[in-house]
Amino acid sequence: MDAVQLSVFSHRLAGICAEMGALLQRAAFSPNIKDRLDFSCAVFDAAGGLCAQAAHIPVHLGSMAFAMADVVAGQAWQPGDLLVVNDPFLGGTHLPDVTVVAPVFDDGGTLLAFAVTRAHHAHIGATAPGSMPISRTLEEEGVVIAPQWLRRDGRWARALLNQLLPQPLAAPEQAPQLGDFVAQASACDAGARWLAAWIADTGVAQFRAGLVALNAYAERLARQTLAALPDGDYHFVDQLDDDGQGTESINVQVTLRVRGECVNADFTGTADQVPGNLNCPLSVAAAAVFYCFRCLMPAQAPACAGLFAPITLTAPVGSLVNAQRPAATAAGNVETSTRIVDVVLGALAQALPERIPAASHGSMNNLALGRAGEAGRPGWDYYETMGGGMGAGPAGAGLSGRQTHMTNTLNTPIESLESHYPLRVLHYGLRAGSGGAGRHRGGDGLVRELLFLAPATVTLLTERRVSAPWGLAGGEPGLPGRNWLNGKPLPAKVCLAVCAGDRLRLESAGGGGHGAPASMET
């Protein structure tokens, strides 16, 4: 392929992923998927190697790139199959992120590729509404799905769906939850059809040759990027506040070993896995590392397996970033992944001080709430993340009120939130002055205050309430975040019952500043 043909090939693959995402968004029922866009779509080759992805959620996509080969291996695939998995230790991230995989065959029955979706479901069977509990084991977090058939020989796994839904499948109030699974399946089916039609038009040989060329091109760009880094060992340490089970100041540390065109991210020295749910499988750690280095690469670099070939990970088995079953993982995917980004960027700042920004707000500020169903009254589940301040960089100030790094979701619009749930939004705006001072100031965090119109159970999984987002080059840290209920402070991680009339207020952290403030220079 020449350069033009390769570009068309790459964009057509990515376009299929984007179209899958558009279909999933329009077909989904829950605000978490249709409004917040908490989903990702990708295409993989027959061996489970990443071919393309849409610009969706980094923690979804990087972890799929790392683990999909194991998910698809050894399965007796047939046309029309759908495989489902959410087990963090068998290719998932945390239980609410459910992955659906559809195979792509040619007319001769040869397996050619896979169309894949991953979406966050607010109910996955945990006892706490929103399925993001203050947990100690994986089983407390909901239904654990090892890779198995969601649809086989044209028949849906009804027993599995009944496990995943709050009420039996026959109940009419179950349409939204079932609708989200059907939307995922539809997006996978459509992606598989589009891929099969394209391959039939261009030929199998041409498709395979395109994948080889695409991966080779991506690997060249990756190696050129890494070769521009000065050889050396770059070390950085940061902390997570607590695990909700009494463990505090949890170390996350990395040593980046840059050698020529390759880099190894070594997490030796990171804390052991903890009793709480900040643990993450190695696939999530890989997603965070891949994301950081992808940010250094040219914008046109295709997101395929070759892009990550020169990047390796070392992480002690049983550590926080390479946790083992039955460790709880609900917050590892959202909070620990974010802190891994902080330590990798902190290490890279030593090698590339002219390019790396200060720490961003450092938490997805997870809010899960709802109420279990009772006779004559359907239950409800809601989950949301909240943005904060972005770290300032050498070239300018940090943006305010943004989702950063490992998430790429939107907020839930107030109109959608208030129309679906017994909630009223009293305040939503920037947290003025929360960004760290500096030559370039860190972005400000957000304030969101909710009024409960009915009793509910609330779970908070938040970070950067103790440790502040650090500044760089003399810049000051951003203000840590805060949580409040009726004007009284709440811990970073807590599950509690609230009554009608109660007010919950979340204040997210600001980003770190970059460069010494002018007043300090004079």
The residue ranking higher by pLDDT, 240 or 160, is: 240
| Mean pLDDT, range 97-125, rounded to an integer | 93
- Structure confidence at residue 62 (pLDDT): 77
Residue 434 has pLDDT above 90, yes or no: yes
Residue 39 has pLDDT above 60, yes or no: yes
User: Amino acid identity, residue 193?
Assistant: R
The lowest-confidence range among 120-134, 161-175, 490-504 is 161-175
For CA atoms 88, 92, 96, 98, the dihedral sign is negative
User: Amino acid identity, residue 218?
Assistant: A
- Structure confidence at residue 520 (pLDDT): 59
For CA atoms 443, 449, 450, 455, the dihedral sign is positive
pLDDT in tens, 328-367: 999 999 999 999 999 999 999 999 999 999 999 999 999 9
Q: How far apart are CA 160 and CA 148, in angstroms?
A: 10
Q: Are 222 and 301 in contact (CB under 8 A)?
A: yes
- Structure confidence at residue 522 (pLDDT): 45
Q: pTM for the full model?
A: 0.94
CA dihedral 414, 420, 425, 430 (to 10 degrees): -40
Q: Which residues contact residue 390 at a Cβ distance below 8 angstroms, ignoring those fewer than 6 apart?
A: 357, 360, 361, 398, 399, 400, 402, 404, 442, 443, 511
| Mean pLDDT, range 473-491, rounded to an integer | 98
Length of the chain: 522
- Structure confidence at residue 519 (pLDDT): 65
- Looking at the chain, the whole-number percentage of residues with pLDDT higher than 90 is 82
- Structure confidence at residue 236 (pLDDT): 98
- Structure confidence at residue 66 (pLDDT): 84
Q: Are 153 and 171 in contact (CB under 8 A)?
A: no
Q: Which residues contact residue 430 at a Cβ distance below 8 angstroms, ignoring those fewer than 6 apart?
A: 400, 401, 444, 445, 446, 447
- Structure confidence at residue 264 (pLDDT): 98
- Structure confidence at residue 40 (pLDDT): 92
User: 73 — alpha (psi -120 to 50), left (phi > 0) or beta?
Assistant: beta
- Structure confidence at residue 162 (pLDDT): 81
pLDDT in tens, 313-324: 999 999 999 999
| Mean pLDDT, range 133-143, rounded to an integer | 95
- Looking at the chain, the whole-number percentage of residues with pLDDT higher than 70 is 97
